[in-house]
Amino acid sequence: MSRFYKVFDSENAFFRIMGVVFDLIELNLLTLLCCIPVVTAGASFTAMHNTLWHMVRGEAGYVHTHFFAAFKRNFKQATPVWLVCLAVIVVMAGDVMVLGRLDGALHAALLIVLVIVGILAVSVAQYYFVFLSRYDDPIKVHLRNAVMAAIGFFPRTAGMLVVLVAFGVLYAMLFVYIVPFLLLLGITLPQYCCALLYCPIFSRLEEGAEQ
């Protein structure tokens, strides 16, 4: 095949990357749209992770098909846990406001507590919605497995936290300038990076279960 045809070959690296980008844009818009009622955000995150799983593994199917099937299937289990996460977010936001009025040792102590709680909450929530997107188990089983995965696969957990914090800091610093980017890839791009880290974990777990 000549170089000319290779440039326009749909299987070359450029077109594969652009295909992933367009899928992430569609997924980001769907995720944001289904988060608008707020109470449905947990199901939306679960559906997003389910779709990312298929994307990372290169499995066939349309983004919206995977998304809405997972959204409908996991809504009941995703919602109560998301409401707990939302309550934690509200409480921590209040604590941050209080933190700004304190100084000295009390300020440092509360800051440490908030950082630790935040790390634990994000780590467990990240794994919980991934487990929910993959397996049909009760909520307590997903929560237990999420805690065990966050601890047992700590290097990958740390990697996901670094990705999320890095994107979070970038968004906070440049928010006014990257609003269009946030609407197009703000959620799914960092989560796609996370999926590249957690998908090997679940592949290994499923391979072990089949043996």
CA atoms of 41 and 48, how far apart (whole Å): 10
| 179-206: pLDDT as tens digits | 899 899 999 999 999 999 999 999 888 8
pLDDT at 107: 82
| 33-89: pLDDT as tens digits | 999 999 999 999 999 999 999 999 888 789 999 999 999 999 999 999 999 999 999
Q: Is the pLDDT of residue 209 over 90?
A: no
Q: Give 93 or 208, the one with higher predicted confidence.
A: 93
Alpha helices in 36-100 (DSSP H): 41-56, 63-99
Structure-block tokens of residue 62:
């349309």
Q: How confident is the model at residue 122 (pLDDT cuts 50, 70, 90)?
A: very high
Q: Crossing angle of helices 41-56/63-99, nearest 10°? A: 130
CA atoms of 18 and 24, how far apart (whole Å): 10
Give the least confident one: 43-47, 77-81, 94-98, 139-143.
94-98
Residue 186 CB contacts under 8 Å (≥ 6 apart), including other chains:
28, 171, 178
Mean pLDDT on 122-145:
95
Each domain of the chain, given as residue ranges in start order, spans 3-210
On the CB side of 2, CA atoms within 13 Å amount to: 2
First-last CA distance in the chain: 43
CA atoms of 24 and 97, how far apart (whole Å): 34
Helix (H, G, I), strand (E, B) or coil at 11: coil
Structure-block tokens of residue 192:
């796609």
pTM: 0.90
Alpha helices in the chain (DSSP H): 3-7, 13-35, 41-56, 63-99, 104-134, 139-152, 154-174, 179-185, 188-210
Find the Cα–Cα–Cα–Cα dihedral 164, 169, 175, 179, rounded to 10°. -20
| Mean pLDDT (the chain, rounded) | 90
Q: Of all residues in the chain, what percent carry a pLDDT higher than 90? A: 73
pLDDT at 1: 47
Helix (H, G, I), strand (E, B) or coil at 176: coil
Residue 168 CB contacts under 8 Å (≥ 6 apart), including other chains:
none
